[in-house]
């Protein structure tokens, strides 16, 4: 591997060169998965301040966590893709690359002269991944999109919240993250296909499509009834009891997905009669009378503190959990045991959720690059490739 490469741990994608033209969150999230799994990812940034998220808070010192969380382990070079000399550097990278990822509005790459068809002429094995708000086709293809736009249009915002409250944005950038995850899936799939065909491919992922695919219960309800689901708060639409409950001090979550678990819950709470109550005999009965069921359970649960009920219900084999905030979840022993709180570039961040036997999952990883940190070395490296190609020709 060239001396310019950051020293990421080996992974299943070691040896792959990824050109990362993505910016903000959707695309960088997907290319960070490639980096975490061993790929060499070269992030190309525009002149000026680079990726917009370098200017977004929160900050640790002068380091944007918004940028750092989804750009760790990458190399950075500033290229002006409208400048002839920089275009030559970029095209030299394309000749060597396995993957190019971009998340511009459809038409931008074509306008620059870097469409999939044009770059495939240069490198037929190239996997060219495009992730955008609405995809490369369809009447909304050229619409601008951010995460909240997609959440609003996909239906997920309308179905999130309580019946007496307004539509609510999911508490994370779900559409961005879904799009980035599916972009990674598409790249990995196309790389596998290339092993058999020898040919590259264009991967087209839309944040809108990705979010629709994650709707699950809402889409099930629509297919079954032809109508949009109503907001129901924290409870499950098709199983009961499956909800957040108050105890004597804190909230806990209880999930009973079948009649056996419901009976175990009733016995543990000292309410065996609920299991034989005609209103609650089956899951369908419990859904039909969920408000009365919650009131009965809630009355018993408020008699003791959350730690007591967690112990009692765990002992009874009933799925139960505390309702934690982000700080509590980050410090949970399970989080630490799974190496999901790591350090990269001197700051803490979520680790790599993909654990693969035979590959290290280090607690300390290479951080996100400063703007143009590897620019000089990368320019020399890919200019050298061009000279070698000219000599061989």
Active-site amino acid positions: 236
Cite the DSSP H helix spans in the chain: 26-36, 65-69, 84-96, 108-112, 116-122, 147-154, 174-197, 207-213, 217-225, 259-268, 272-276, 283-288, 290-301, 306-315, 326-330, 333-337, 375-392
Look-up: residue for tokens 């000749």?
A: 95
SS3 179: helix
Which of these, 56, 70, 85, lies nearest to 375 by C-alpha position? 85
CB 35 within 8 A of CB 73: yes
Which of these, 20, 45, 47, lies nearest to 34 by C-alpha position? 20
Tell me the pairing of strands 242-246 and 99-102: unpaired
> What span, in angstroms and rounded, lies between the C-alpha atoms of 70 and 24?
9
Joined together, the tokens standing for residue 330 give 């980050």
> What span, in angstroms and rounded, lies between the C-alpha atoms of 146 and 127?
25
CB 162 within 8 A of CB 152: no
């Amino acid at each position: 591997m060239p001396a310019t490469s950051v020293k990421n741990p080996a992974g299943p994608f070691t040896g792959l060169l990824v050109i990362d033209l993505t910016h903000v969150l959707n695309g960088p999230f997907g290319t960070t998965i490639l980096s975490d799994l061993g790929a060499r990812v070269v992030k190309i940034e525009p002149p000026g301040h680079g990726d917009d998220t370098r200017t977004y808070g929160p900050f640790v010192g002068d380091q944007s966590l918004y940028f750092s969380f989804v750009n760790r382990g990458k190399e950075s070079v500033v290229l002006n893709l409208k400048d002839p000399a920089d275009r030559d550097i970029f095209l030299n990278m394309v000749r060597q690359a396995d993957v190019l990822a971009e998340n511009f509005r459809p038409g931008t790459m074509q306008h620059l002269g870097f469409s999939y068809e044009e770059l495939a002429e240069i490198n037929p094995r190239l996997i060219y991944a495009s992730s955008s708000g609405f995809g490369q086709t369809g009447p909304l293809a050229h619409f601008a999109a951010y995460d909240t736009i997609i959440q609003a249009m996909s239906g997920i915002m309308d179905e999130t919240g309580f019946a007496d409250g307004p539509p609510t944005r999911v508490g994370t950038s779900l559409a961005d993250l879904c799009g980035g995850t599916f972009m990674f899936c598409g790249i990995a799939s196309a790389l596998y296909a290339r092993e058999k065909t020898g040919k590259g491919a264009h991967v087209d992922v839309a944040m809108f499509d990705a979010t629709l695919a994650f709707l699950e219960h809402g889409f099930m309800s629509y297919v079954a009834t032809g109508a949009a689901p109503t907001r129901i708060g924290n409870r499950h639409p098709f199983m009961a009891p499956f909800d957040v409950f108050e105890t004597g001090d804190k909230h806990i979550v209880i999930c009973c997905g079948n009649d056996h678990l419901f009976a175990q819950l009733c016995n543990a709470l000292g309410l065996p009669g609920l299991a034989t109550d005609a209103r609650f005999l089956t899951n369908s009965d419990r859904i039909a009378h969920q408000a009365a069921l919650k009131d009965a359970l809630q009355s018993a649960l408020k008699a003791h503190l959350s730690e007591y009920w967690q112990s009692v219900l765990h002992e009874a084999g009933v799925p139960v959990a505390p309702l934690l905030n982000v700080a509590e979840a980050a410090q949970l022993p399970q989080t630490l045991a799974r190496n999901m709180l790591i350090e990269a570039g001197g700051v803490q961040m979520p680790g790599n959720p993909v654990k693969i036997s035979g590959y290290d999952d280090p607690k300390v990883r290479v951080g996100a690059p400063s703007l143009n940190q590897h620019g000089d070395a990368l320019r020399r490296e890919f200019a050298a490739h061009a000279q070698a190609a000219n000599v061989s020709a």
